[in-house]
Amino acid sequence: MGRWPLVLPIYGEVASCPPHLWGGGPKGRRGRAGGAGPEGQGRRGRAKAAGLGKLDRVATTLTHADPLVVAGVHLRSRLFIGTGKYPTDESMLAALEASGSELVTVALRRLDLDDPKKKTILDVIDWRRYRILPNTAGCKTADEAIRIARLARSMGLSDWVKLEVIPDPRYLFPDPEETLKAARVLVGEGFKVLPYINADPVLARKLEEIGTVTVMPLGSPIGSGQGIQTMEQIRIIIEEAHVPVVVDAGIGVPSDAALAMELGADAVLVNTAIALASEPALMAEAIRGGVEAGRKAYLAGRIPKRPQASPSSPTEGMSRPT
């Protein structure tokens, strides 16, 4: 092929990030504040054990020293963007710019690579600004997905691959057995595998155990815009995982992205909600805001839900009429 670079740039190294935010140390939780610590503490407990006060966490967030780390690569943005369904290349590029994203997925199987002179999406995207994440969309079996991943590597695209194995043409649910099979082979060949899965905590654990660098549970069916319909399952995956959890599929509006981040997800991947919006760039900017707001809310720590009201003003020490 010979027309794409052999090495992709690594963006966003942040020197001042406290270890508790990116899972540093041999037993650290993944890239989030308050993950399970060396003594098996809860997600909130680890920030406390690290000796960080509330002001430290706020200052860290405001200075953006809160990177997501995937396979040793620092990413400033926690919003990943898909490149399908846009009406024009120009609208896609405007949306990428507005999103602030650094990681962009491309479905190799849907590219015409037979004619080396024909322009593809790989020629449109600026490789100096974005990390290209090849994906195996359109593959129905593990063998097909493995072949596409190997093709991406042979083209010099990346040894990162978003693994999708989807035989179901109607609801587009991923095949758990074929996904696990493909992941095992690809990890063994040195790929950095980011698997798209049903919101299945058992499967997520098995994938992590064989060496995937993330798990990517769906919020609801691809392109449905139904939002986060698998909230409790995702909550369990987040609680148990030691690699980044990226909520993928089903996000329709910024509030869906914010909710995923408030749950403690490390990132979200969005395509259809942006690409098919009336104004893709504006929606990309809005979802970017949702991701950032949700992450800050997670770091800040929400108040507990109560069955009864709790007055905002003090009820003791108040002057009383005589």
- The amino acid occupying position 309 is A
Select from 220, 213, 205 the least CA-distant residue to 272: 220
Q: Please tell me the number of Cα atoms within 13 Å of 313 on its side-chain side.
A: 3
Instruction: Give the bridge partners for 81, in sequence order.
Output: 104, 270
Select from 204, 225, 199 the least CA-distant residue to 215: 204
Angle between the N-to-C axes of helices 89-99 and 280-300, in degrees from 0 to 180, rounded to the nearest 10: 20
Select from 125, 151, 131 the least CA-distant residue to 139: 151
Cite the active site residues: 162
Helices and strands per DSSP (H, E), number in the chain: 12, 10
The residue written with tokens 């005589």 in the block is 322
* Tokens at 46, concatenated: 């680890």
CB count within 10 Å of CB 16 equals 7
Using an 8 Å Cβ cutoff, are 68 and 23 in contact? no
- Within its chain, how far is the Cα of 50 from the centroid? 25
Select from 160, 189, 179 the least CA-distant residue to 102: 160
